[in-house]
Amino acid sequence: MNKILGFVAVAAVSSSLSLSAQAERLTAESGDLLTSSDMRSMFANATFTGINQFGNDYVSNLYEGGDMTGDAISPDGVLLESDSGRWWVKNNAWCREWDNWFGGYPACFKIVKDGDTIKFFDTSNNLVSDTTYTANAAAPR
């Protein structure tokens, strides 16, 4: 079964940078680079939704306390696979570790919020992925 790859990289940097609209690099032009405090308060009970590299929809529910669940859904609405894991914040980076997806390896990202879009950047300041963010929308457990 394919592993879902939407968030890939390792990062942990404290800075006041933002994302350029034209490039896939972290710059000082648009969006807000989130701090550890921002992420802790914003992501508790939040939902990330998007399309993975395989063209499938995904939904990730982040819960207060660090648990998370995720579903990959085919374009015709069929549930392909689900996973669970943990998320945390460290040194102004959002980190996650799925039980199975991404080989179960942890990864951390610098996060930029631009409207309802969350952008994930690696240690080289390259855009890795983006997702739609919805506050207080995590599915009940």
Predicted confidence (pLDDT) at residue 18 exceeds the cutoff of 60? no
Predicted confidence (pLDDT) at residue 9 exceeds the cutoff of 80? no
* Domain assignment of residue 112, given as a range: 18-134
What pLDDT is stored for residue 28 in this prediction? Answer: 58
Asked if residue 12 is part of any domain, the answer here is no
Asked if residue 9 is part of any domain, the answer here is no
Q: For tokens 């933002």, what's the residue?
A: 18
Least confident among 16-25, 44-53, 83-92, 106-115:
16-25
Predicted confidence (pLDDT) at residue 17 exceeds the cutoff of 80? no
Whole-prediction pTM = 0.78
Predicted confidence (pLDDT) at residue 135 exceeds the cutoff of 90? no
Q: Any bridge partners for residue 33, and if so which?
A: 112
Asked if residue 23 is part of any domain, the answer here is yes
HEC string of the chain equals CCCCCCCCCCCCCCCCCEECCCCCEEECCECEECCHHHHHHHHCCEEEEEECCCCCEEEEEECCCCEEEEEEECCCCCEEEEEEEEEEEECCEEEEEECCHHHHCCEEEEEEEECCEEEEECCCCEEEEEEEEECCCCCCC
Asked if residue 6 is part of any domain, the answer here is no
Contact between 64 and 44 under an 8 Å Cβ cutoff? The reply is yes
Asked if residue 82 is part of any domain, the answer here is yes
Task: Give the CATH number, domain containing residue 32.
Answer: 2.40.128.360
Predicted confidence (pLDDT) at residue 12 exceeds the cutoff of 60? no
What is the torsional sign of CA 19, 105, 41, 15?
Answer: negative
Taking the C-alpha atoms of residue 2 and residue 54, their distance in angstroms, rounded to an integer, is 9
Predicted confidence (pLDDT) at residue 99 exceeds the cutoff of 60? yes
State the chain's mean pLDDT as an integer. 81
Contact between 130 and 119 under an 8 Å Cβ cutoff? The reply is yes
Asked if residue 109 is part of any domain, the answer here is yes
Asked if residue 120 is part of any domain, the answer here is yes
Asked if residue 11 is part of any domain, the answer here is no
Predicted confidence (pLDDT) at residue 6 exceeds the cutoff of 50? no
Across 44-50, average pLDDT: 93
Q: How confident is the model at residue 30 (pLDDT cuts 50, 70, 90)?
A: low
- Tell me how many domains the chain contains: 1
